[in-house]
C-alpha cells in the first residue's frame, strides 16, 4: 500500500494549529509556575516550525536564550527607553531590544 500524499499547505495548516495549541499550553504552564514544562512546549513548537517550515506568529514571544514564553510581569520585565522596548527575561536575563516605530511615525505626522 502506498501512502496518501498531503499537500504542503495542509501540512502548514496543521502545524500552525499545533503551534498555537503548544503556545497556549506554555502560557498555562507559566501561570502554574512550571517553567520547565513551558520551555519544553516552546522547544516542541520550534521543532514543528522547523520541520514543516510553518512560521511562528509574532504574538508568540519567547526568550531566545532559555526558550521560556515571555509574559510581562511573570517571566519578563518590559521597559521603554530611547524609542526602544527593552524586554529582559526573568530566568536567564537575556535582553531583547525592539524599536517602536509606529509611535514615532505618528509623532512625525502630527508635528
| Res. 103 pLDDT band, cuts 50 70 90 | low
Please check whether residue 65 is in contact with residue 36, taking contact to mean a CB–CB distance below 8 angstroms: no
Identify which has the larger pLDDT, 110 or 34.
34
Q: Delimit the domains of the chain by residue range.
A: 8-110
Q: How far is CA 61 from the centre of its chain?
A: 2
pLDDT at 2 over 90: no
Could you tell me which residues come within 8 angstroms of residue 19 by beta carbon, excluding any fewer than 6 positions away? 45, 48, 49, 54, 56, 57, 60
**pLDDT value, residue 102:** 66
- Output the average pLDDT for the chain: 90
Q: What is the largest CA-CA distance in the chain?
A: 69
**27-69 per-position pLDDT tens digit:** 999 999 999 999 999 999 999 999 999 999 999 999 999 999 9
**pLDDT value, residue 107:** 58
Rounded mean pLDDT of 76-93?
93
pLDDT at 104 over 80: no
Give all strands of the β-sheet with 76-81 in edge-to-edge order: 76-81, 84-89, 95-99
Compute the distance between CA of residue 29 and CA of residue 47 in angstroms, rounded to an integer.
Answer: 19
How many helices (H) and strands (E) are present in the chain, helices listed first?
3, 3
Amino acid at each position: 500500500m502506498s501512502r496518501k500524499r498531503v499537500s504542503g499547505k495542509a501540512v502548514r495548516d496543521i502545524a500552525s494549529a499545533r503551534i498555537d495549541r503548544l503556545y497556549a499550553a506554555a502560557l498555562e504552564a507559566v501561570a502554574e509556575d512550571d517553567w520547565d514544562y513551558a520551555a519544553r512546549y516552546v522547544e516542541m513548537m520550534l521543532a514543528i516550525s522547523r520541520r514543516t517550515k510553518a512560521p511562528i506568529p509574532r504574538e508568540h514571544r519567547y526568550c531566545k536564550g532559555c526558550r521560556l514564553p515571555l509574559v510581562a510581569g511573570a517571566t519578563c520585565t518590559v521597559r521603554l527607553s530611547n524609542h526602544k522596548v527593552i524586554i529582559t527575561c526573568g530566568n536567564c536575563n537575556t535582553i531583547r531590544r525592539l524599536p517602536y516605530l509606529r509611535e514615532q511615525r505618528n509623532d512625525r505626522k502630527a508635528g
